[in-house]
Amino acid sequence: MKRISALFLCFLAIFALTACGKEKESTKKVERSNEPETSKLDYQESAVALPEGVASVADVALGEEGTLFLVGGDKEKTQLAYWKSKDNGKNWEKVADFTEEIKKANGKVNAQLSTDGTGIFSLEPLEEKEHSDEHQVSYFFFNKEATLSKMNETLQATLDKERAFSIEKLGEEKLFLTSEKGALLLDIKTGKTTNILSNKAAIFSMEESGGFLYLLTSEKPEKFSLATGKSEEKEVSFAKLAYLLQKGKNYYNQAFGILPTNNKVMIGVGKNNIYRVTGEKEEILLNKSKTLLGDSSNFVRKLLPYEENAFLVLINNEKGDQLLRYEAKGEKKEEKNSAKKLKVYILEEDFIERKQAIHQAINLYQRKHEDVEIEVEIGSENGEISTDDALKNLNAKLASGDAPDILVLDGLNVQKYQKQGIFADISEIVEKNKNETNLNNILSTYEKNGKYYGLPLTFATFGLYGPDTAVQGMDSMEDLTKSLSSLAKKNKETIFENWMFDELATITYRAYFVSKEKELTEKELKSYYTNMKKLYDLVDMKEVMATKKLKDMWTTPVGISNVDAVTVNDVQVSLDYVDNPYEVKSYELADKVKKYPLTFFKDEKNAYFVPRNSLSVLNASKNKELAKDFLDFAISQEAQNGIDTTSGFPVNKQVLAQSIKAIKCDGVEEVRTEFGGSVKVELKELDDTVANKWLERFDKLNTPNTMDVVLFKIITKNMDAIMKGEISIQDGTKQTMRRVKLYQSE
């Protein structure tokens, strides 16, 4: 279910970020004299043709003798086959087909391969027993003869007991599991388990070689003996590679591989580069920025070195899986120091808030322009410094003449900067792209006195879904609060989901107070706190407040399908961001059950939207024309086609419509929530009619909503204490106003 998955992934992200803070201490202990040298060899990227009929790769492994093993099938995994290649993917031999077994089982099948070509198949029933203690996944061993045998009861019972998140077969004797307890080894013969890592360590990448398990974790790199389960002293090459990969804060997309014929040779994908470490020697093989690995929508699943100067990388994105080959083809041509350079500045990024559309456009542009280098500077990355400090650093750069060429506007007080005259006029680009192809209302976001200074690549909106009586009271926050309070008294059902309070807080602030940010008064701030407190008291917030703090709430406009709770009658009303085609599907399902009006937040005149991934060119830039050329490319259909669903809706109408129609529907969809609500709804497809309906809705949005993130964080700093009643609304308001005035005076 999407809602559970979203929350779980968010939890993992926060958990990993917390753990990553500890990693900085351990990496400081590594003494470095200089950066790795860059290889003189010219590595070429090419796509490996997958076996016929394979669109989705369950797993791929490289044997010690150089045989490549692959299990894959169609995108829906209704077909699955086992393949071998003795020439590293140039030719494939089909060994076994498991399609009939899948049909008989009527379930979802996945596979994991070991380096000897054996592995594990898992079968999960299509009808999940979400609230049952019975095991839902059956496991099978996959042997060298390409046949399946069910795991014995002892192993199955252990896997059920441990509630394994993931399972890997390591050689003939061990299984490697991750669970709520941490990571452990399971002996295949005896069924005994050995805990090797606590749940405090998030595992980013792993590799098995020569009877040892190598792990990159959020705490430190680890090496374990498969025979004893004990920690072993790490090779110099592994310690060095771990340092190179983790110093770049690439926590969400790491992978490394060990050459089967020489375990001293290790290759890894870092934040910006691909590295090779051979014993003491470190090298940068190539820069990711001009390869498919530099596209932030591509998730690196596996890296397989098969020669010292050649390796394969399995990547995944929303369109499917792809196997890439990197081989050295002679020496590089002598490079001239005449590369054109651009610098892009982003205020903040973390696991959840990534400016994916911008990173993808940068990668595409650099792959098209070999003579251009684009450097991205992030003010606050993964919370290393506060957003406030990052903003001060940016202002210092602007004042000192060290300004970037391109400034990302998301989260900034853009009106303040616009008044200072720091933005170059990009009217030519905006006017060129204001046509029937794009949503011109979104493109017109950053207009002042007939000139344009910003260009949004994507957007989101926010909506209220519930009975007519709820959506009719939206002209002010007081009206909304009265409407929801009245509904809460009239009906027994919970008015809104308590875990939705973050979205409620940010959406109401955006709708009713963003327009007042410039001259926010004490009266207006008190009104916000007063109404939030009334809404807070409508639901039981004890469980929520025990695990999270309102001062840390996300400001990113990302929808998490809150409307599902209305669809299954868990709650009466949902407030949520609408920013991706999965949200469209959720609302289409809700409409078939409830038939409530979806209302984008608005008052009598304004229908709001949030511009995202917005680019501007600075007057101080010495590369204005190149920067403008990049912006023109970033809004092109080619770049818009590359936008993934985490970035918001694309501005291009055709791309947006296609992204909606691409969402798979099963004919009958089951909408479920973690609270036990469930309903089956008929939905065959999201067709042209649906896509056009939503395009018409988006075309009516008329008021951009750009929030000053630093100001909002000041306002929510003491919100926990106000909501809990630890300080009065009056005192909390006065405390906050002092901070607001200080910030606005800077």
361 close to 393: Cβ distance less than 8 angstroms: no
Q: How confident is the model at residue 291 (pLDDT cuts 50, 70, 90)?
A: very high
Q: How confident is the model at residue 26 (pLDDT cuts 50, 70, 90)?
A: very low
Residues 6 or more apart whose CB falls under 8 angstroms from that of 311 comprise 257, 267, 303, 304, 305, 325, 326
- All structural domains of the chain with their residue ranges: 2-331, 340-457+612-649, 460-611+704-745
Query: Does 15 have pLDDT greater than 50?
Result: no
Query: Does 25 have pLDDT greater than 60?
Result: no
Query: Does 440 have pLDDT greater than 60?
Result: yes
What mean pLDDT do residues 703-719 have? Answer: 94
Task: Report residue 476 CA to chain centroid gap.
Answer: 33
What mean pLDDT do residues 735-740 have? Answer: 95
Percentage of residues of the chain with pLDDT beyond 90: 61
Nearest to 142 by CA among 69, 73, 209: 69
pLDDT in tens, 591-633: 999 988 888 877 667 889 999 999 999 999 999 999 999 999 9
Long-range contacts formed by 293-299: CB under 8 A, 24+ apart? 293/269, 293/324, 294/362, 294/363, 294/366, 294/367, 295/359, 295/360, 295/363, 295/364, 295/642, 296/253, 296/354, 296/356, 296/359, 296/360, 296/363, 297/356, 297/360, 297/642, 297/644, 298/322, 299/253
Query: Does 14 have pLDDT greater than 60?
Result: no
Give me 249's structure tokens: 């804060």
What mean pLDDT do residues 308-333 have? Answer: 91
- Determine the residue type at 50: L
**What does the alpha-carbon distance between residue 694 and residue 722 come to, in Å, rounded to a whole number?**
39
Residues 6 or more apart whose CB falls under 8 angstroms from that of 18 comprise none
Q: How confident is the model at residue 63 (pLDDT cuts 50, 70, 90)?
A: confident
**What does the alpha-carbon distance between residue 393 and residue 382 come to, in Å, rounded to a whole number?**
16
Q: What are the φ/ψ torsions at residue 526 (nearest 5 degrees)?
A: -60, -40
Q: How confident is the model at residue 13 (pLDDT cuts 50, 70, 90)?
A: very low
The predicted structure's pLDDT at residue 295: 86
Query: Does 546 have pLDDT greater than 50?
Result: yes
Q: How confident is the model at residue 463 (pLDDT cuts 50, 70, 90)?
A: confident
Rounding to the nearest 10 degrees, give the CA dihedral for residues 473, 476, 481, 482. -60
The predicted structure's pLDDT at residue 17: 36
The predicted structure's pLDDT at residue 251: 58
Pick the CATH number of 460-611+704-745 from 3.40.190, 3.40.50, 2.60.40, 1.25.40: 3.40.190
Query: Does 249 have pLDDT greater than 80?
Result: no
Q: How confident is the model at residue 336 (pLDDT cuts 50, 70, 90)?
A: low
Q: What are the φ/ψ torsions at residue 335 (nearest 5 degrees)?
A: -85, 140
* Residue 539: strand, helix, or coil: coil
The predicted structure's pLDDT at residue 165: 83
What mean pLDDT do residues 295-306 have? Answer: 90
What mean pLDDT do residues 1-24 have? Answer: 36
Pairing of strands 406-408, 608-617: antiparallel
Query: Does 85 have pLDDT greater than 50?
Result: yes
Q: How confident is the model at residue 250 (pLDDT cuts 50, 70, 90)?
A: low
Query: Does 106 have pLDDT greater than 90?
Result: no
Nearest to 603 by CA among 511, 486, 704: 511
- Determine the residue type at 656: L
Tell me 152's DSSP state: P
The predicted structure's pLDDT at residue 33: 46
CATH code for the domain defined by 2-331: 2.120.10
Least confident of 373-377, 427-431, 474-478, 658-662: 474-478
The predicted structure's pLDDT at residue 491: 87
Across 86-135, the runs of DSSP E, i.e. the strands, are 93-97, 107-113, 119-125
Query: Does 325 have pLDDT greater than 90?
Result: yes
Q: What are the φ/ψ torsions at residue 426 (nearest 5 degrees)?
A: -115, 30
**What does the alpha-carbon distance between residue 251 and residue 635 come to, in Å, rounded to a whole number?**
29
The predicted structure's pLDDT at residue 335: 61
Residue with more model confidence, 126 or 605: 605
Q: How confident is the model at residue 337 (pLDDT cuts 50, 70, 90)?
A: low
Q: How confident is the model at residue 9 (pLDDT cuts 50, 70, 90)?
A: very low
pLDDT in tens, 567-580: 999 999 999 999 99
What mean pLDDT do residues 71-89 have? Answer: 87
The predicted structure's pLDDT at residue 283: 95
Query: Does 1 have pLDDT greater than 50?
Result: no
Give me 158's structure tokens: 């252990």
pLDDT in tens, 134-173: 547 888 998 888 888 889 988 988 888 888 888 999 988 9
**What does the alpha-carbon distance between residue 299 and residue 270 come to, in Å, rounded to a whole number?**
12
Give me 204's structure tokens: 């980013």
340-457+612-649 homologous superfamily? Periplasmic binding protein-like II (3.40.190.10)
177 close to 159: Cβ distance less than 8 angstroms: yes
Residue with more model confidence, 721 or 219: 721
Asked whether this chain's domains 340-457+612-649 and 460-611+704-745 adopt the same fold, the reply is yes
